[in-house]
Amino acid sequence: MEKAFTDIGWHLVEDTGRRTTGLGDKVVENNKTGLTVVADHKSTRNKEGFNIQKKQLVKIKKEAKDYGHGIPAITFTYLGHPEVYAIFNIKDLKGVLE
């Protein structure tokens, strides 16, 4: 997940090994836009699907709010598939580029 963000010009602010706040798995930021994403990453063990529970969405939203200004997201990959995807609440984008 970190590589997917850095490959498109974002940089890592915190991760599970370097965290100071203990929030999310990764915190990444984009210098051009000023956007910050607080992400909880999920790796699947199968190739077809997995479940996201509402409590996971609530947890990352709270962690992003505690961070201060991050957009909460759950990122995920499928076993054997190189793409990284993200789930977020569209309402969390309100006002971020205004």
What is the domain range of residue 75? 2-91
Statement: residue 25 has pLDDT above 90: no
Answer whether residue 42 is part of any domain. yes
Answer whether residue 38 is part of any domain. yes
Answer whether residue 97 is part of any domain. no
d(CA 31, CA 44): 30
With 0.85 as the threshold, say if the pTM is over it: no
Statement: residue 96 has pLDDT above 80: no
CATH number of the structural domain spanning residue 59: 3.40.1350.10
Instruction: Indicate the pLDDT class of residue 5, thresholds 50, 70 and 90.
Output: very high
Statement: residue 19 has pLDDT above 60: no
Q: What tokens appear for 54 in the block?
A: 């509402």
d(CA 88, CA 33): 18
CB 37 within 8 A of CB 1: no
The pLDDT tens digits of the residues spanning 56-84 come to: 999 999 888 888 878 999 999 888 888 99
* Per-residue model confidence (pLDDT) at position 38: 92
